[in-house]
Amino acid sequence: MKTNKQNPDFLHIGKKLLYWYNFHGRDLPFRKTQNPYNIWICEIVFQQTRIQQGLSHYNRFIERFPDVKTLSESNLDEVLLYWKGLGYYSRAINIHKASQQIMTDFKGEFPENYDDILKLKGVGKYTAAAISSICFGKQIPAVDGNFYRVLSRLFADDFDISNHKANEYFSELAFRMMPENSAGTFNQAMMDLGSEICKPKNPLCEKCPLSNDCLAFSLSKVSLFPVKTKKVKIENLQLKYYFVAFENQFLIRRRQDDFIWKNLYEFPTEIPEKFEHLISKTTILKHKLTHKNLEITIDSVSLPSKSDFEKFAEEGNFLVTDFENSHGKSFPKPLENYILNRFSD
């Protein structure tokens, strides 16, 4: 569909959306502030997490790290610990690095300019636009999956959302709907409409404030939008670990800053051949990531002496921990569950 830049109904639809949001917008704690730090953290937290699931994590994170300075000066281990339960730990690593960027590059003040916000580690176009519009009143659409879905259905627009120009295309479309000096409110209204009403499956069209304007609804083709032709290939990966223990202690080390689970803790991935006969139990775990299916094999190895255990730790640069102290470290979810199950037996 080719949109008409001069269509006067665009702005009318935007005003209807704001009217609906005024009465039906979600009452969320981070909407009571325009503090860019708080908005930034909430946007990162809720990138891959539903609000109902992530709200307590957001509140706890903000309580412990109330500002950029506190976050930047904190140990990464503690930041990761407070991120536990949210998954996608690279987000926590990025906000820690970004907080240090703000301290060094912007003298501790959160940048107001969209392009400067975009320079922060882990911040993409959507997050930069959300912060710019909500906190600084910049007239920029914060286009995400909700925008794609609402706008595609509203105009029965078959522009492929997997196209690399989708953000630019739908940003232009949203901009024509956005009433002047209301970008922050408009963006939040679109988020609420997309997540609460115009859902990916089983949308509540009968409750939608824009149903009379929705072309896909009038054509009974809501389920056909948005259009996405490019499918993400799911990769199958196999991982191998050894749970090396002596009495109630075991060995761990931090993963490198690459691949999946960067900077989280893991078990040894290999052992000397002389210890292979000590493998007592093999556990196979299945775990799904966004674009990966993991099969994780963990062999349990109990070393016969403390000296062997300490030598293994020293030579492999491993940390020695136990069940209680492991709570202070962040592990990938399947390894965390393995530890819990191991010590609950």
- Percentage of the chain with pLDDT > 90? 88
Question: Span 230-254, mean pLDDT?
Answer: 94
Q: Which residues lie across from 294 on neighbouring strands?
A: 237, 287
Half-sphere exposure of 298 (CA within 13 A, CB side): 22
CATH number at residue 81: 1.10.340.30
Domain check: are 302 and 188 in the same one? no
Q: Is the pLDDT of residue 328 over 80?
A: yes
pLDDT attached to residue 223:
96
Q: How far are the Cα atoms of 136, 293, 296 from residue 54, in angstroms, in the given order?
A: 25, 24, 27
Is residue 160 in some structural domain? no
Question: Span 307-330, mean pLDDT?
Answer: 96
Range of 52's domain? 9-144+168-201
pLDDT attached to residue 8:
56
Domain check: are 112 and 24 in the same one? yes
Is residue 222 in some structural domain? no
Computed from CA positions of residues 49, 53, 56, 59, in that sequence, does the dihedral angle turn out positive or negative? Answer: positive
Is residue 72 in some structural domain? yes
pLDDT attached to residue 30:
86
Residue whose pair of structure tokens reads 């490198």 in the numeric block: 256
Q: Which residues lie across from 295 on neighbouring strands?
A: 238, 286
**pLDDT tens digits, 198-214:** 999 999 999 999 999 99
Q: Find the radius of gyration of the CA atoms of the chain.
A: 24
Tokens of 124: 């993409």
The pLDDT-based confidence of 4 (bands split at 50, 70, 90) is very low
Question: Span 184-189, mean pLDDT?
Answer: 97
Q: Is the pLDDT of residue 12 over 80?
A: yes
Is residue 211 in some structural domain? no
Cβ(243)–Cβ(270) under 8 Å? no
Question: Span 59-80, mean pLDDT?
Answer: 97
**What does the mean pLDDT of the chain come to?**
94
Is residue 340 in some structural domain? yes
Name the residue among 301, 298, 297 with its Cα closest to residue 245.
Answer: 301
pLDDT attached to residue 259:
76
Domain check: are 239 and 196 in the same one? no
Q: Is the pLDDT of residue 82 over 50?
A: yes
Report the alpha-carbon distance of residue 263 to residue 169 in Å, rounded. 37
Domain check: are 280 and 179 in the same one? no
Domain check: are 183 and 245 in the same one? no
End residue of a domain, out of 201, 216, 248: 201
pLDDT attached to residue 291:
87
Domain check: are 184 and 293 in the same one? no
Is residue 15 in some structural domain? yes
Domain check: are 63 and 186 in the same one? yes
Is residue 152 in some structural domain? no
Helix or strand run (H / E) with residue 297:
strand 292-302
**pLDDT tens digits, 115-164:** 999 999 999 999 999 999 999 999 999 999 999 999 999 999 999 999 99
By DSSP bridging, strand 319-322 and strand 249-254 are antiparallel
Domain check: are 33 and 116 in the same one? yes
Helix (H, G, I), strand (E, B) or coil at 252: strand
Question: Span 257-277, mean pLDDT?
Answer: 91
pLDDT attached to residue 345:
64
The pLDDT-based confidence of 3 (bands split at 50, 70, 90) is very low
CATH number at residue 268: 3.90.79.10
**pLDDT tens digits, 32-46:** 899 999 999 999 999
Domain check: are 180 and 268 in the same one? no
Question: Span 275-288, mean pLDDT?
Answer: 96
In this structure, the chain runs to a length of: 345
Is residue 134 in some structural domain? yes
Domain check: are 138 and 266 in the same one? no
Domain check: are 195 and 245 in the same one? no
Cβ(121)–Cβ(94) under 8 Å? yes
Which residue numbers are catalytic? 43
Domain check: are 79 and 133 in the same one? yes
**How many domains are contained in the chain?**
2
pLDDT attached to residue 146:
96
The pLDDT-based confidence of 280 (bands split at 50, 70, 90) is very high
Helix or strand run (H / E) with residue 242:
strand 235-246
